[in-house]
């Protein structure tokens, strides 16, 4: 049985486009600054793919720690 694809071809092409824009220096983050990080470029590409309706897994929920939350309130 064939393995199920996690990301669609449309998603991979969108990420590829974001990586190319990063390489040329035209990829901007939400704050308007140039993106230099490879990981950030991939995250932007996946987010754009989600907006276009491509098959991309949901974002992971942030882990909440009760220990650090209590320390910040003081």
Could you tell me which residue, 62 or 25, shows the higher pLDDT?
Answer: 25
The packing angle between helices 9-24 and 38-52, to 10°, is: 140
Q: How far is CA 28 from CA 15, 44, 46, in A?
A: 14, 9, 14
Mean pLDDT over 43-50 rounds to 94
Could you tell me which residue, 13 or 57, shows the higher pLDDT?
Answer: 13
What's the whole-model pTM score? 0.72
């Amino acid at each position: 049985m064939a393995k199920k694809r996690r990301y669609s071809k449309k998603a991979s092409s969108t990420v590829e486009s974001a990586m190319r824009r990063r390489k040329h220096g035209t990829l901007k983050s939400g704050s308007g600054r140039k993106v230099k990080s490879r990981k950030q470029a991939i995250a932007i590409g996946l987010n754009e793919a989600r907006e276009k309706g491509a098959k991309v897994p949901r974002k992971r929920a942030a882990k909440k720690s009760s220990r650090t939350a209590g320390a910040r309130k003081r």
